[in-house]
Amino acid sequence: MSKLEGKSAVVAAGAKNLGGLISTTLASRGVNVAVHYNSASTEADADKTVAAVQDAGVKAVKVQGDLTVPANVEKLFDTAIDAFGGVDIAINTVGKVLRKPITETTEAEYDSMFDINSKAAYFFLQQAGKRLNDNGSITTIVTSLLAAYTDGYSTYAGSKSPVEHFTRAASKEFGVRGINVNNIAPGPMDTPFFYPEETPERVEFHKSQAMGNRLTDIGDIAPLAVFLADEGHWINGQTLFANGGYTTR
């Protein structure tokens, strides 16, 4: 029997792609899942993921909300606690990618990137720290660009980098209750979010920098997110670069 069986999780952006796979992987370990999604355009994906979680024999609930609004983050945890009686695991896969030169970036783009990648992450950590059961687990998905030296991604890497500082502080503050807090930093991932930001030539370059001449797959990352909540619970305050050797530091 999995040590996670009977526990409950909140997965932010848990309807599709990496978040969807994390949701269903947790379900396969006996975890109830609150599947968060941002907008109506993703509701059908959320419904499919909820159905897949329930098919695994555990409880599921879907929750819509823009997590750049702290009240919506609070509502997400409220809904999960009402549905399951408590929450043990909180995983945040929310993120937005932008590749654009600094000289061309607008104020609106800057604000959007930091709202989604920094502000939402901060208040997700805040609510998780307030609401999780003792000995719980919190994980945020960041990016391997935090260890890269490159052009174009100033607002993406820049807006993800504060999360490392948030995580270190949270791991100290919440650790007294046995809650571990970590980040996972994937390499460029083979998802629909990646390709619009890159040229075919750059895609091939990114592939060439990792083992197997390939991009990171969501299947490389989801098991690691579950591991941190289970066998890897002693890992705390860290950013794990899971990228096939794409970057290191």
DSSP label at residue 210: S
> Contact at 8 Å (CB) between 235 and 180?
yes
> Contact at 8 Å (CB) between 33 and 48?
no
Q: Is residue 24 part of a domain?
A: yes
Q: Is residue 247 part of a domain?
A: no
Structural domain count, the chain: 1
Taking alpha carbons only, the member of 143, 187, 183 closest to residue 164 is: 183
Q: Is residue 136 part of a domain?
A: yes
Buried residues in 68-91 as b, exposed as e (16+ CB within 10 A):
beeebbbbbbebbbebbeebbbbb
Taking alpha carbons only, the member of 230, 224, 244, 236 closest to residue 22 is: 224
Instruction: Provide the edge-to-edge strand list for the sheet that holds 180-186.
Output: 60-64, 32-37, 8-12, 89-92, 137-141, 180-186, 239-242
Average pLDDT over every residue of 113-120: 98
DSSP H helices in the chain: 17-28, 43-55, 70-84, 107-114, 120-131, 154-175, 200-208, 218-229
pLDDT at residue number 190: 87
Average pLDDT over every residue of 101-126: 98
pLDDT at residue number 60: 98
| Residue 180: its H or E element | strand 180-186
pLDDT, mean over the chain:
96
Q: Which domain holds residue 51?
A: 8-242
CATH of residue 156: 3.40.50.720
> Per residue in 119-159, pLDDT tens?
999 999 999 999 999 999 999 999 999 999 999 999 999 99
Q: Is residue 1 part of a domain?
A: no
User: Which residue's entry shows tokens 């994390």?
Assistant: 22
> Per residue in 35-78, pLDDT tens?
999 999 999 999 999 999 999 999 999 999 999 999 999 999 99
DSSP string, 230-245: TTTTT--S-EEEESTT
Joined tokens for residue 118: 């920094």
